[in-house]
């Protein structure tokens, strides 16, 4: 978005929506130990993320993969993002979830932890406790996750611009801006 704002300072800022996609939907709701997950997935419980950490450092993100002890099932984190969207706080929630997990090593399967993260994002903690204790939006999130898989999405990040152009993987800002502008150009004109 920084590059978009820089290039088009007078334009309305594009809307960003975070859509559900679980990397590990088959994990138990309580998650599993990170070491067990790394052993299952990569055959090495001590897999290094040094390259990712170095890239993060170069852009000001102090990844702390060593702090992550639980590989989560993220259904409740996605429910929280959906709930935050209805409150106009989805971007704030996404930022706090990423910070909590990748920098602080928070257990995203713990509902009290999720309520604390939601409070940091500007939502009312007690309302979040009640929401997370319910099954509200669980089927909606599950259905959206399946819809993404059926559309061919197999990993994150995955960007969709104007429901027309998809870009998979971490990309340079210029690549994302080009895709955004192409999707904008291909969008049908709206009537006044």
At 30-79, the pLDDT tens digits run 999 999 999 999 999 989 899 999 999 999 999 999 999 999 999 999 99
In sequence order, which ranges of 68-137 are alpha helices (DSSP H)? 75-86, 90-98, 111-120, 125-133
Kindly state whether residues 160 and 140 are assigned to the same domain: no
Q: Do 119 and 38 sit in the same domain of this protein?
A: yes
| Residues 80-127 pLDDT 10s | 999 999 999 999 999 999 999 999 999 999 999 999 999 999 999 999
**How far apart are alpha carbons 184 and 90 in whole angstroms?**
23
- Lookup: tokens for 82: 């959906």
Q: Which domain, by its residues, includes 111?
A: 22-146
Same domain, yes or no: 110 and 77 = yes
Residue 75 shares a structural domain with residue 54: yes
The angle, 0 to 180 degrees and rounded to 10, between the axes of the packed helices 111-120 and 75-86 is: 30
Asked if the structure places residue 34 within a domain, the reply is yes
Classified as helix, coil or strand, 4 is: helix
Q: What pLDDT is recorded for position 192?
A: 45
Asked if residue 83 and residue 47 are part of one domain, the reply reads yes
74 and 68 in contact (C-beta within 8 Å)?
A: no
Crossing angle of helices 111-120/90-98, nearest 10°?
120
Instruction: Confirm if 148 and 168 have CB atoms less than 8 A apart.
Output: no
Q: What is the pTM of this model?
A: 0.90
């Amino acid at each position: 978005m920084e590059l978009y704002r820089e290039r088009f300072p007078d334009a309305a800022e594009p809307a960003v929506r975070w859509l559900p996609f679980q990397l590990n939907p088959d994990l138990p709701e309580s998650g599993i130990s990170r070491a067990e997950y790394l052993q299952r997935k990569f055959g090495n419980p001590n897999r290094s993320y040094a390259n990712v950490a170095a890239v993060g450092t170069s852009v000001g993100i102090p990844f702390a993969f060593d702090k992550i002890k639980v590989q989560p099932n993220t259904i409740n984190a996605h429910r929280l993002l959906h709930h935050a969207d209805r409150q106009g706080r989805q971007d704030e929630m996404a930022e706090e979830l990423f910070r909590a997990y990748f920098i602080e090593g928070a257990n995203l399967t713990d509902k009290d932890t999720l309520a604390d993260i939601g409070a940091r994002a500007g939502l009312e903690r007690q309302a979040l406790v009640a929401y997370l204790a319910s099954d509200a939006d669980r089927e909606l999130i599950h259905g959206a996750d399946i819809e993404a898989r059926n559309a061919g999405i197999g990993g994150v990040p995955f960007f969709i611009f104007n429901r027309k152009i998809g870009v998979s993987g971490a990309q340079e800002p210029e690549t994302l801006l080009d895709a955004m502008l192409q999707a904008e150009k291909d969008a049908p004109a709206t009537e006044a």
